Structure 1
């Protein structure tokens, strides 16, 4: 535990915050495209994992495999967000409240957004803590097999994002309709579910002793952020835009589980 705190505070947290500040600078350069914060979140996990990986050594194939899986998750999600959100100029309605409230007060808006980037950095510091155990421990074949299933979850998270994007790009969909294609027919947030499964898999695969159970803090905090912040905010906006149609969709569809 002491080693985790020491490495985390001296190396990982500063690395994450530097990355968040760099992405905030990019946010300003690209004329306040708020979706960059989501890319920053993803890349900051790779920064944290890379620091843990280099601290414990990257000479073995196992260590490279672990870092490769993390890089795959980052490249898939960050690439999707960069192309479909930033390159296409998508404006996220979740951040509209900030821009509307401080529409004429640019400095205050910038301070609020900057604080959001920094706060997110601290969240990443916690949610990436399972990576400490992942790179510290040498895994047995059974644990490596468990870790390997993360490829499955990464694929299905990507599939959920792809299905939703296809729906959004469709020119024949009814106005104000709700995506109920593929995985979205069974779950209101399948992409979040599979993302949570990725990090749960990483945490479980990393446990070799009872002290390593601290790795579970990562998916638990991630679930709390999803269930307590991301989902309620998204669904309030959907309810406002779609009304009774979205309420009916919620009554017939699980929040997370795609079954």
Structure 2
């Protein structure tokens, strides 16, 4: 498979926009802007930077799945060249509580409902006003700050995953996993009763660097280390889910 590297968007020169009132500006946030249109994304990142944020732009869904960990918010377009934005939203929400605002030209009520069901915290249609977008960002941040932190300790029967230390044990016996094996197990454990599509696992754990046998090899190794095939269940034609050992 040909590998296509994810590229950060370049910021073009843009006119200086009107100032945003301090009441709606939440400065100092690291914002991930996911948009395939380099000019549009560059304009938005310039505006965000002018108001004190630290934005970074990517133009592909696979790049977003590799860049979300150190940001405080994601502004996500739905029309991306490699993955549908709804798929990216679902993948992000599966493993992270990072606030997500969909910013898109898709204006139908159905698209909005699908976006919110995929895990977005808000849905903004283009064209939009900067003041409105900043106000929505502030509102989402206020809501998410009041929410309890995501679980950092996952238990599934005899299986225990300490997310912060990246340690895994079965029956209190520590299991040594590689980085990718841990990432694969965590992605499944974050949604213990859901079937995670093979494509989502490949994109989120391996990004652009994988072959057809990549996931099968890692699943086989993970089953062996955990002590049984029942920990990772294959759902034929769909993907994988976490089992009970």
Q: Which has the higher contact order (CA 8 A, sep 6+)?
A: 1
Give the alignment's TM-score, normalised by structure 1: 0.29
Going by fraction, where is strand more abundant, 1 or 2?
A: 2
Give the alignment's TM-score, normalised by structure 2: 0.30
